[in-house]
Structures are given as C-alpha cells and as structure tokens.
Chain A
C-alpha cells in the first residue's frame, strides 16, 4: 500500500458482479462512498428539519445555516430567477462537499477524485444550462457568443474564442475538481510514505508536513465544492439573465 500513491484511487468490486446487458454496474467502493455521502446528507438534513424550534438545536442550526449559505450564494450570483434550481445546486454542493470530506478520512475512497464522476456532473450541468438557455431565450441565447461593444473586425475571432470557452466549461469544471482532489490525496500519500521510509529519525519533518497538508486539504475539499457550486450558479446566470 505504501509504495504507490495511486493505489488509493483504485476502484474494486464489493460483492458480486452485476451486469445489465453489456454494462457492468457492480457495486464498488466508489458506489459505497456515494451511498454513504448521500445517506449522511439525508440523515443530517432530515434531523435538521424535523423539529422546528425558535431556538434551533445544533443540527437544526447546521441545516439552516447550510440552507441560507447556498441560498445566498445563488441569489448573489444568479439572482432571483435561479430559485427553481436551488434544490439542484444545494444537492450538488452537498454531494461534492460530503464526497470530498469523506475522502479526508484515512482508508476511505474519494469519489470526486475520479474524472468520470466529476465529468458526468459537469456535463449534466453544461447540458442542462444550455437547454435552459435555449428554452428561455430561443436562438437569442446565441448572443452569448457575441459580446456587445466589440469592433466588427474582431468579431469573428471573439465569437470563436467565446464558443471555445463555452464548450470547454464542462472540461474545466470537471478537471478542476478532479485534479484538486487527486493531487491533494496523492501528495498526502507521498508524504505519508516518506514518514514510513524515513522512520523515527527523519520522519518527523514529513509528518508535520502531512499534518499541515491535512488542514490544507480539508480547506481545499470545502473550497472545491464551493467553487463547483458557484461556477454552476455563474453558468446558470448566463443562461437565465442574458447580458453579455
């Protein structure tokens, strides 16, 4: 285990192999942590919404603070029109946050360190936002690629750049999260390996580094979930309030 820092990202089957047609949908350690994260979110927020006391208890306060945090984030970036998408962005933020945070517990698996997971999320957001944009503005949504106040000579170039930047949104969104999580966990593993190989004499330096990195990674885990959610809000804002 200690030799290769990448083994922590390996997916393996838990239980029997399940096949639907040609597709292998076996329950894996990745699936396990998706289920654990979702269940944790549901349990915490269910407990937090059960009783309504004027003076909230701790778990209710947690649920309500998260609610108002996400609500404020959405209204700040995408305005009041984004209210119908609150549940989705809230679920997205919580899911990514919990997957990131569960990944910080030793011997666990980080769901969001897999490009396929983040890419599916980002692709879904991208397609959804594009569909919303076309529903709201029809073909007028294409004006997004034509910024106002640009000289006509430059316009072809700008439009091409705009289209490329728009199309690269799902890639940048997914790679940002995936690369951050993977790099952080790899680095922690590498420093952990140094602690083992340098032993009791020289292992203290990488150990202290590892401790510091753990703090940093927890920050990154939160920050990347936040960035993921806020970028979703910004894309949604483009689709809802077209003012490029």
Chain B
C-alpha cells in the first residue's frame, strides 16, 4: 500500500520532471533513465571481464616479471659484490707479495754486501799479513846485511890496507895485525893508533 501510494508516484514524478527539464533546456542526458539498465549491464560485463582477465592472467605475469627482475638484479649486485671482495683480497695478497719480495730483495742485497765486505776484509787481512811478513823478511835481510856489512868492510879495509902497505913499504905485513887495527878502528878505538 505504502509503495503504491507514495513511492511509485514519486518515482514517476521524478521521471516526469526530468523529462520536462530535458525538454525545456536540452537537460542532462545523464538523468534520463532510458539506458540506465543497459549501461549497468555493459559496465558489469566489461568491468567484470577486465577484472577477471587482469587478475587471473596479466597482473600475475607482470608481478612475476618484476620479481624476477628484482631477484636477478639482486643476484647481479651480490655477484658483483663478491667479485669486488675477491679482487680486493687478491689485491691485498698481491701487495703482500710485493712487500715480501721487496724485503727479500733488500735482505739479499744486504747479505751480498756483507759477504763482499767480509770477503774484502779477509782478503785485506791476508794481504796485510803477507805484506807484513815480507816487510819483516826484508827487515831481517836488511838487518843481516847490516850486521854482515862491517865485517865485509873490515875485510876490504884489511885487504886494501895490506895492498897499500905493500906498495908503500914494499914488504909483507902481518895480515893479522892489520886486521886487529882495523877491528880497533871499527870499534872506535882507533884513537891510540893516530896519536890523538
């Protein structure tokens, strides 16, 4: 009863005034209910199909694509990170090797230098010793020469004095007395023979 009395006339009234409005000024075609059912039907149909196809077929694919790309990029970044780390480690190792070899080279150089210096020193010592020995030998020789020199001079002096005396005096002089005089002279005792 209520519906018949109030609702239907009001709806009819709404449509009616709407029609009048439309007739008067062109109105709003949006308020003309002629194709409302059609629009609702086609909206539900097209939007329903759109929703089903998008949600079941297309969006999962896009999501999977995005995930795949994300994970791939992540993997690549991780791989790059790993490689960077390994290359850094290798660089460190390399630096270590260079440092070690530098130290080794230094040590070798030092050793060689020390060896050479030792060698030189030892050789120098031997040479010094030889030189010393030779100097000593020479000194000894000189000494012996020096020691034997007065005797020889004495002999020469005796011989020459004998010869001179022979020529001066013309007679043989005792060899031994002459040598005694020479010996005295040599010993700086010649003063008493020359009358000083």
Contact = CB atoms under 8 A, between A and B. Distances in A.
Interface of A: 4, 6-7, 9-11, 23-28, 30-31, 34-35, 37-38, 41-42, 45-46, 48-50, 52, 54, 60, 63-64, 67-68, 86-88, 90-91, 94-95, 111, 113-117, 120-121, 178, 182
A54 B41 CA distance: 41
Interface stretch (B53-61, B124-132, B166-174): B53-61
Interface string B7-47: 00000000000000000001111111111111111111011
B43 A120 contact: yes
Interface string B96-124: 00000000000000000000000000000
Given A41-B54, A48-B62, A31 B28 contact: no
A116 B61 contact: no
A91 B47 contact: yes
Interface of B is mostly: helix
Contact of B28 (A6, A28, A60, A86): A6
Q: Is the interface of A mostly helix, strand, loop or mixed?
A: helix
A138 to B, nearest CB: 27
Interface string B66-88: 10110011000000000000000
A34 B46 contact: yes
Interface residues of B, number: 40
Contacts of A86: 59
Given A24-B37, A91-B50, A9 B28 contact: yes
A50 to B, nearest CB: 8
Contacts of B32: 11
A115 B63 contact: no
Contact of B58 (A45, A52, A88, A117): A45
Nearest to A4: B26
A171 B12 CA distance: 22
Contacts of A91: 47, 50-51, 54-55
